[in-house]
Chain A
Amino acid sequence: MAVITYREALNQALREEMERDESVFLMGEEVGEYDGAYKVSKGLLDHFDGNEWRVRDTPIAENGFAAIGVGAAMAGLRPIVEFMTFNFSLLAFDAVVNSAAKIHQMSGGQFNVPIVFRGPGGAAIQLAAQHSQVPDAWYSHVPGLKVVAPATPKDAKGLLKSAVRDDDPVVMIEGELLYNIKGEVPEEEYLVPIGKAEVKREGTDLTIVAHSKMVHQALQAADTLEEKHDLRAEVVDLRTLRPLDIDTVLESVRKTNRVVVVEEGWPQGGIGAQVADDVQREAFDWLDAPVARVAGLDVPMPYARNLEKQVFPDAKHVVRAAEHVCYLDQD
């Protein structure tokens, strides 16, 4: 297996899907001539012979170009709409939520909208309140959408390819801080199915549920818990946020009886809130402690580095929550 970055994995997925299917095209700000704001689309315009219909640079008009994607999808193409960051997708919320997510049902199943909305979500470093938001819960709230948020290069490539081939709108939330991470990616063609979580580390003493960037914090916390307390934490990477693969979570919980749910976003109405609800309803008798949640702090992201570090959830917060569900923080 080749070791490549998350960014390269996404680039390969784009290239391969656009080669495989001529109806697939990419549009967004800076995706063509500039090679992508985060270089995810590097080289694609050249690779497709400078054909601007395949790799379309747009003006800074998120609602407009996202809705153009919706119209093109209704007419049978498979657009991939890149948001430079998901913060800007709020300007396109109408196109994604009012149009893409609704048209299949509103038309009685006559028109489907096979489109991918993708780009980075979440905080990077000191980008302040308007550039550090986590859109995971916003989009996963909406029936009609599918939402994926991969943590590794392998999942990023496999999920993007599945998203492109899906007949419904898929929101793919990448991580700006994940673009440079490296990981093994199969040389041969593969897909990662939408709607399937994956156990990233097996364990018996507690379950840590996470997605995207937080999978890495969870894995780091699991190492600490093993060193510090000889605890074996199982890490479940949700990978898809809608539909949630609760069965995989439940299977783990029935084994470990303790759960910590980790997410980067705000706590109220978060992904963790949904997981905790599903767990308490379907595995109440299996729990030895209340479900603990680790989330971003409930504030718009401040600029100052020392404050940002405290707002952003990390491995030490996960360790603290894990100790709590294992009753290791009791006097």
Chain B
Amino acid sequence: MATKSEKKTKADPKEEADLLGLDEEELRRLLRLMMLGRRFEEKAAEAYQTGKIGGFCHLYMGQEAVAAGAITPLRDDDHVITAYRDHVQAIVRGIDPKAVMAELYGRVDGCSKGQGGSMHMFDRSLNFMGGHAIVGSHVPIAAGVGYAIRYRGGDQVCLCLFGDSVVNGGPFHEAFNMAAKFELPVVYVCENNSYGMGTDISRVAAVEDLADRACAYENMASYSVDGMDVLAVRGAVQEAIDRAREEHLPAFIEAHCYRYMGHSMADPAHGTYRSREEVEEHRQDDPILTFRRRLIDAGVVSEEDYDAMDREVIEEVEQAAEFAEQSPKPDFGDIYEYVYSGEYPDIDRRDAWR
């Protein structure tokens, strides 16, 4: 009779009873980043509804603890790569909300100069390597960044975030196999919000616990954490980063979270695949309100501090929208500017009556 193989390296993240030992400034920073992310997405939703933002627009409300917990432990010389639900990851990494909003508006001051849009935020100066919109495609790209780090003998790591749907696809397994075998310093964070668009992950994944997937690979540490708890995410990711830096080994962290909005702005928040009640229930477990309560209880912030911070981030996203509005649209005369990095003869030979 076949038996399920024992999990090899599934690790328990450190206790976080003492707020991970983070100082008050850092704790407030985490809270503020989540608040900024939430308010930013609310503004983006509004701008989308008024037609200022086009295309697909995948919002992050509900998942803020994952980006804030996973990206903040990185060093400046580390790398981040993520999927298409990327606005808040970009902001947490340090891209000015103005540049993220301008990108959503398709303007030249956008962090990708209006060429990428919602799904393709980039910032080379911050080693923020995109915004990738083919499910799973960036998982092996992250391994390649890890390859380059090892190649040069560096001690940086690459953090790669993606949604739960990725774990059922080929690129995930190809990347995990090689990251583990070649010993690449990549920390993979799966934002398991339970749904791949409108399909419950349990309906399409032949494994109950997604973290088990990573246990198939030697050298790969695997964690399962509460993705609605910023410190739980931060603790596990910090541990995985330390291990990747010191031992050049990859890790997988499944962060259980929940998105309040539809898959994208084109989709309803609830409907055939989940009920209004389910969404409301998860909103009771809001990562920002939970962390706020915790920091108030610990005396790190007061109600007044929180309200002041909220006013501040609202003002910041208002300014971002104003900035985006004022930023010029890209000039059609530069249409071929970014196709190649160098000169490219004849690219306009076939202008097809433009």
Footprint of B on A, CB under 8 Å?
A: 25, 53, 56, 58-59, 61, 63-77, 79, 94-95, 98-99, 103-112, 143-144, 146, 166-168, 195, 243-244, 246, 278
Contact of A64 among B116, B134, B178 (CB under 8 A): B178
Q: How far does the Cβ of B93 sit from chain A's closest Cβ, in whole Å?
A: 14
Number of interface residues of B (CB under 8 A): 53
Does B85 sit within 8 A of A, measured CB to CB? Answer: no
Having A58-B178, A59-B181, one finds 20 other A-B pairs with CB under 8 Å, namely A59-B174, A63-B170, A64-B170, A65-B174, A65-B178, A67-B138, A68-B175, A71-B140, A71-B148, A72-B147, A72-B151, A74-B129, A99-B137, A99-B138, A104-B339, A104-B340, A109-B338, A110-B112, A167-B342, A243-B345
Residue of A nearest to B346 (CB): A243
CA A278 – CA B352 in complex, angstroms? 12
Known: A71-B141, A243-B346. Is A61-B177 also a contact (CB below 8 A)? Answer: yes
Most buried by A among B113, B147, B170, B347: B147
Contact of B137 among A56, A73, A94, A278 (CB under 8 A): A94
Footprint of A on B, CB under 8 Å?
A: 79, 81, 110-116, 120, 122-124, 129-132, 134, 137-151, 158, 170-171, 174-175, 177-178, 181-182, 337-342, 344-347, 349
Give the residues in chain A near B138, CB-CB below 8 Å.
Answer: 67, 99
CA A130 – CA B253 in complex, angstroms? 39
Known: A71-B141, A74-B141. Is A61-B148 also a contact (CB below 8 A)? Answer: no
Known: A105-B338, A107-B112, A108-B110. Is A98-B137 also a contact (CB below 8 A)? Answer: yes
B79–A61 touching, CB < 8 Å: no
Give the residues in chain B near A53, CB-CB below 8 Å.
Answer: 147, 150-151
Give the residues in chain B near A99, CB-CB below 8 Å.
Answer: 132, 134, 137-138, 141
CA A53 – CA B122 in complex, angstroms? 28
B339–A67 touching, CB < 8 Å: no
Q: How far does the Cβ of A267 sit from chain B's closest Cβ, in whole Å?
A: 20
CA A167 – CA B130 in complex, angstroms? 19
Known: A53-B150, A106-B120, A108-B122. Is A68-B345 also a contact (CB below 8 A)? Answer: no
B116–A167 touching, CB < 8 Å: no
CA A59 – CA B181 in complex, angstroms? 10
A-B contact pairs, 15 of them (CB 8 A): A59-B178, A61-B177, A67-B138, A68-B143, A71-B143, A74-B145, A75-B145, A75-B149, A77-B147, A105-B339, A106-B115, A106-B130, A108-B115, A110-B112, A195-B346
CA A167 – CA B338 in complex, angstroms? 13
B130–A64 touching, CB < 8 Å: no
Contact of A25 among B110, B143, B145, B151 (CB under 8 A): B151
Give the residues in chain A near B111, CB-CB below 8 Å.
Answer: 108
- Grouping DSSP codes into helix (H, G, I), strand (E, B) and loop, the B interface class, with mixed when no group exceeds half, is mixed
Q: How far does the Cβ of B18 sit from chain A's closest Cβ, in whole Å?
A: 36
Give the residues in chain B near A63, CB-CB below 8 Å.
Answer: 140, 170-171, 174
Contact of B124 among A70, A73, A110 (CB under 8 A): A110
CA A195 – CA B343 in complex, angstroms? 11
Residue of B nearest to A112 (CB): B341
A76–B115 touching, CB < 8 Å: no
Q: How far does the Cβ of A137 sit from chain B's closest Cβ, in whole Å?
A: 15
Residue of B nearest to A97 (CB): B134
A106–B151 touching, CB < 8 Å: no
A107–B120 touching, CB < 8 Å: yes
Give the residues in chain A near B148, CB-CB below 8 Å.
Answer: 71-72, 75-77
CA A63 – CA B138 in complex, angstroms? 11
Give the residues in chain A near B341, CB-CB below 8 Å.
Answer: 104, 109, 112, 167-168
Known: A64-B177, A106-B120, A106-B122. Is A70-B112 also a contact (CB below 8 A)? Answer: no
Most buried by A among B115, B120, B134, B174: B174
Q: How far does the Cβ of A238 sit from chain B's closest Cβ, in whole Å?
A: 13
Residue of B nearest to A277 (CB): B350
CA A33 – CA B124 in complex, angstroms? 36
Contact of B147 among A68, A167, A244 (CB under 8 A): A68
A103–B144 touching, CB < 8 Å: no
Residue of B nearest to A73 (CB): B144
Residue of A nearest to B343 (CB): A195
B171–A104 touching, CB < 8 Å: no
Residue of A nearest to B108 (CB): A108
Q: How far does the Cβ of B147 sit from chain A's closest Cβ, in whole Å?
A: 5
Q: How far does the Cβ of B335 sit from chain A's closest Cβ, in whole Å?
A: 10
B144–A72 touching, CB < 8 Å: yes
Give the residues in chain B near A108, CB-CB below 8 Å.
Answer: 110-116, 122, 338
Q: How far does the Cβ of B301 sit from chain A's closest Cβ, in whole Å?
A: 36
A243–B177 touching, CB < 8 Å: no
B130–A107 touching, CB < 8 Å: yes
A244–B346 touching, CB < 8 Å: yes
Residue of A nearest to B123 (CB): A110
Give the residues in chain A near B81, CB-CB below 8 Å.
Answer: 71
CA A94 – CA B114 in complex, angstroms? 23
Q: How far does the Cβ of B283 sit from chain A's closest Cβ, in whole Å?
A: 34
CA A211 – CA B123 in complex, angstroms? 40
Residue of A nearest to B179 (CB): A68
CA A53 – CA B154 in complex, angstroms? 14
Q: How far does the Cβ of A68 sit from chain B's closest Cβ, in whole Å?
A: 4
Give the residues in chain A near B142, CB-CB below 8 Å.
Answer: 71
CA A59 – CA B217 in complex, angstroms? 14
Known: A58-B178, A67-B175, A143-B339. Is A106-B112 also a contact (CB below 8 A)? Answer: yes
Q: How far does the Cβ of A286 sit from chain B's closest Cβ, in whole Å?
A: 17
Residue of B nearest to A110 (CB): B124
A106–B342 touching, CB < 8 Å: no
CA A61 – CA B173 in complex, angstroms? 9
A106–B340 touching, CB < 8 Å: no
B141–A105 touching, CB < 8 Å: no
Q: How far does the Cβ of A201 sit from chain B's closest Cβ, in whole Å?
A: 24
CA A68 – CA B139 in complex, angstroms? 9
Give the residues in chain B near A66, CB-CB below 8 Å.
Answer: 140
